[in-house]
Structure 1
Amino acid sequence: MVPPAVRRLVLPMTSAVGSVRTVVTPGRRVVLTYDDGPVPVDTPGVLAALAEHGARATFFVLVARAEREPGLLREVVAAGHEVALHGIDHVRLTALAPGEVRRRTAEGKQRLEQLLQAPVRWFRPPYGAQTPATWAAVRRCGLEPVVWNRTGYDWLDEPVEDVARRTLDGVAAGDVVLLHDGFASADVGVDDGPPPAFRREDLARRVLDGLVQRGLEPVSLGQAVAEGRAVKGAWFRK
């Protein structure tokens, strides 16, 4: 989750210190990404909605939750989705020393790869919070930082139709869309208050229906870059 009032610095896409923000890919594809899972209350419904639409996504998981729900993690993989690292927990990395960021990220990568028995390529910092120093620490762990350029702020407790409309407003080929199949809370080291009342499954169906109506194909980040390329730009926010 990312509080909408947080001030951010987003530099031109040509910056050498870059995080993945969009993609160039054949056809009319958008990248769907889900953060903060896996959790029993929301992840299965999101998986069901994706399956109904024949869609793929990248799930940025929290290791603490993945280790509690290894069966759910296996379901994500078995459905053909990509798994990436969101962190051991949801602690804001910009509050930590770079050495601690590197230690935690390396440990999270190792633990997630052990669960998956497969390498992990992508990393998204909790809250999208990143400084040049934390970015460098993540890169030293062999991970590629990923942010986004499209979100409906689905951590806010608002009517699901409003959140879906905001997510789809102006969506275009090449966008990286931020969604959630969980909510950051005390079990992952933070207190972000109560989660939204709407069901993540309902939001997923509305967003997927809207993408199909616009002639856009939802894919994972790995799928998108396999036949295209990632577009990077500097993105720093506390």
Structure 2
Amino acid sequence: MSPVLGIGARGAVKAAAVVAGGLALAHAAPAVTSIQPLEPLRRRLFPRFGGVGDPGHVALTFDDGPDPLSTPRFLKVLEHRGVKATFFLLGFMLERDPGLGREIAAAGHEVAVHGYLHRPMVLRTPAQTRDDLSRARDLVASATGVSPRWYRPPYGIATTSALRTARRLDMTPVLWTSWGLDWRAGATGSSVYDTVTGNLDGGGTILLHDSDCTSAPASWTATLSALPRLLDHCEERGWKLGPLADHGIS
């Protein structure tokens, strides 16, 4: 190879690498919003995506179900308190128990999409992303008879492909403002309560889990223990508690 052709080939390789790097960056850029220290900035710059809504309302959301062992216990507490919530369902969990998905919707709760598999979207190609979200959306709609309005990516890590696919499927991506760290081993009712309320304000969205399918075994018991106190906390401050549909962010 002549020196001139060699230089040209090296230049082409560098140019291709730059293009590939740019495409990868564009694909993964939305994932930056999942970094927890940047959460206050996310709320300011992207309030709707971050779950900020009506100041007089707090949205209550649960991820990773439906689980036949744990989810009915949450439904029982919510029924007793007269509170509705939004459940972000995983497709593979719903396939195992579609009847429980129907039960959630029949009880007046909102059903939403958390994906088919609980895997980071940054590790998926656009085609895999489209397949995952479409499959999960169709399962939720078929099992519950309701077309889901909301999408929350696993781990809160979004990609350009995930956001575009969600919107193409008529779903609005939404994260949260307060979480309970309830998936961790060693979580207790008190730790979940303290973590959620530490930065919860009116207009916030609470993230909890009604299943331990991606969490420490039996971690949902800490969440269930904290739930009545969290409901009391919101009521005492005059915040109306309910699903995302009533949160004023659509």
Give the TM-score range, shorter chain: 0.7 to 0.9
Q: Match of 2:53?
A: 23
SS in 2 for 1:22: coil
SS in 2 for 1:87: coil
Q: Match of 1:34?
A: 62
TM-score normalised to structure 2 length: 0.77
The answer to whether residue 122 in structure 2 is matched with residue 98 in structure 1 is no
1:43 and 1:196 mapped to 2: Cα distance?
Answer: 13
2:162 and 2:47 mapped to 1: Cα distance?
Answer: 12
Alpha-carbon distance change, 176 to 41 in structure 1, aligned in 2, over 3 angstroms: same
Letter in 2 for 1:168: T
Structure with the largest fraction of strand = 1
Following TM superposition, by how much is the alpha carbon of 1:128 offset from its aligned partner in structure 2, in angstroms?
0.4
SS in 2 for 1:19: helix
Find the partner of 2:76 among 48, 51, 57: 48
SS in 1 for 2:136: helix
Superimposed CA distance per residue, residues 179-224 of structure 1 (whole angstroms, 9 cap, x where no aligned partner):
1101234xxxxxx554527343212222112222222221100122
Alpha-carbon distance change, 208 to 108 in structure 1, aligned in 2, over 3 angstroms: same
Q: Match of 1:188?
A: none
1:90 and 1:52 mapped to 2: Cα distance?
Answer: 30
Find the partner of 2:219 among 182, 192, 196: 196
TM-score normalised to structure 1 length: 0.80
Superimposed CA distance per residue, residues 157-192 of structure 1 (whole angstroms, 9 cap, x where no aligned partner):
32211211211223221101101101234xxxxxx5
2:223 and 2:43 mapped to 1: Cα distance?
Answer: 31
Alpha-carbon distance change, 54 to 16 in structure 1, aligned in 2, over 3 angstroms: closer
Q: Which aligned segments of 4 or more residues in structure 1 are displaced greater than 6 angstroms?
A: none
Q: Match of 1:175?
A: 204
1:140 and 1:197 mapped to 2: Cα distance?
Answer: 33
Alpha-carbon distance change, 170 to 20 in structure 1, aligned in 2, over 3 angstroms: closer
Number of aligned residue pairs: 214
Alpha-carbon distance change, 53 to 114 in structure 1, aligned in 2, over 3 angstroms: same
Superimposed CA distance per residue, residues 85-127 of structure 1 (whole angstroms, 9 cap, x where no aligned partner):
1011212111101221012211211122111222111100011
Find the partner of 1:206 among 229, 239, 242: 229
The answer to whether residue 179 in structure 2 is matched with residue 151 in structure 1 is yes
Unaligned runs of 5+ in 1: 1-5, 186-191, 231-238
Superimposed CA distance per residue, residues 5-32 of structure 1 (whole angstroms, 9 cap, x where no aligned partner):
x74666556758972521126xx21000
Following TM superposition, by how much is the alpha carbon of 1:35 offset from its aligned partner in structure 2, in angstroms?
0.3
Q: Match of 1:70?
A: 98
CA RMSD of aligned residues (A): 2.4
1:54 and 1:216 mapped to 2: Cα distance?
Answer: 14
Structure 1 vs Structure 2: percent identity of aligned residues?
A: 32
1:73 and 1:110 mapped to 2: Cα distance?
Answer: 13
1:115 and 1:58 mapped to 2: Cα distance?
Answer: 16
1:20 and 1:44 mapped to 2: Cα distance?
Answer: 28
Which gives a bigger RCO, structure 1 or 2 (Cα 8 Å, sep 6+)?
A: 1
Q: Is the 8 Å Cα contact of residues 57 and 220 (structure 1) preserved in structure 2?
A: yes
| Deviating more after overlay: 50-59 vs 195-204 | 195-204
SS in 1 for 2:202: coil
Q: Is the 8 Å Cα contact of residues 38 and 65 (structure 1) preserved in structure 2?
A: yes
1:131 and 1:125 mapped to 2: Cα distance?
Answer: 9
Q: Match of 2:192?
A: 163
Following TM superposition, by how much is the alpha carbon of 1:78 offset from its aligned partner in structure 2, in angstroms?
1.8
| Deviating more after overlay: 134-143 vs 65-74 | 134-143
Structure with the largest fraction of helix = 2
Letter in 1 for 2:51: R
